[in-house]
Amino acid sequence: MMPQHTLNQLHQLRLDGMARALEEQWTLPASHSLSFDERLGLLLDRELAWRDNQRLVRLRKKAKLKYANACLEDLDRRPGRALDERLIASLASGDWIRQQHNLLLTGPTGAGKTWLACALGNQACRQGYSTLYLRTPRLLEQLRIAHGDGSFGRTLQQLAKVDVLVLDDWALAPLEEGARHDLLEVIDDRAGNRSTILTSQLPLEHWHGWINDPTLADAILDRLVHNAYRLTMKGESLRRKKVEEQTAS
């Protein structure tokens, strides 16, 4: 008979993985032949695996990725997309995050920029890094509201702590003057400390004109670009192709 008191104590200590493993050991006759050290080792292994899995669940939930199930294993590698496989492999390793580098993904609409950004966000979560997905227009709206309700400083602090910040739809709409300054604050806090992924339909050489303020543009782009990996995605729209395949079937 399983001593419920022992299980209760494990749960009180938040050793849920160990508790589940212990229940399994009690119900599996084969485990009874193991030594105390062997059984304890299995319990500890399960607890560590449980904690790693729970941490991953928390990180993915907080990331709020647009494509929550995107992962690099499912990346469409057809030749027409002109993906740099060496760069993809390097990004998958997470070294760019450890070195606080950025990633700039550009290309036409439907090329898969957002999906790849989310896949890399998921990869970062797997490696234990905090991640957050935001559309740039929505971020700017949140910052505008934060000025009004007094939470601007706190919002900046929260953004600065995120290991990998994914800013989707960068340079999608014209910038107002206040938004330019807000972007500089966000980027400046992260420069050299955290990693940022940007996705944009607008080619990098036009970003300076999009910001539309030479001084602020120099400041923002210097912090973003000088230590950034760049990937220009090509090929036909994946959304259109998916619709055509569904229609054909």
Domain ranges in the chain are 4-60, 64-248
> What pLDDT score does 26 carry?
76
> What pLDDT score does 237 carry?
59
> What pLDDT score does 31 carry?
77
Which of 218 and 242 is assigned the larger pLDDT?
218
Least confident of 52-66, 75-89, 101-115: 75-89
Residue 223 DSSP class: H
Q: Using 50, 70 and 90 to split pLDDT, how confident is the model at 21?
A: confident
Tokens 């990998």 -> residue:
164
State mean pLDDT over 100-112. Answer: 95
Which of 44 and 102 is assigned the larger pLDDT?
102
Note whether 130 and 162 are within 8 A (CB).
Answer: yes
pTM over 0.85: no
Average pLDDT, the chain: 89
**Count of other CB atoms within 10 angstroms of residue 46:** 20
Q: Is residue 241 over pLDDT 70? A: no
**209, two tokens:** 């004109």
Q: Is residue 210 over pLDDT 70? A: yes
> What pLDDT score does 78 carry?
80
Reduced to 3 states (helix: H, G, I; strand: E, B; else coil), residue 224 is helix
Task: Round to whole Å and give the CA distance between 51 and 151.
Answer: 33
> What pLDDT score does 103 carry?
98
Q: What percent of the chain has pLDDT above 70?
A: 93
Q: Using 50, 70 and 90 to split pLDDT, how confident is the model at 1?
A: very low
**Count of other CB atoms within 10 angstroms of residue 113:** 25
Q: Using 50, 70 and 90 to split pLDDT, how confident is the model at 15?
A: confident
The CATH T-level fold of domain 64-248 is Rossmann fold (3.40.50)
Which of 117 and 12 is assigned the larger pLDDT?
117
**Count of other CB atoms within 10 angstroms of residue 81:** 17
Which helix (H) or strand (E) segment holds residue 135: the answer is strand 131-135
Each residue's pLDDT tens digit, 138-173: 999 999 999 999 999 999 999 999 999 999 999 999
Longest dimension (CA), the chain: 75
Q: Using 50, 70 and 90 to split pLDDT, how confident is the model at 2?
A: low
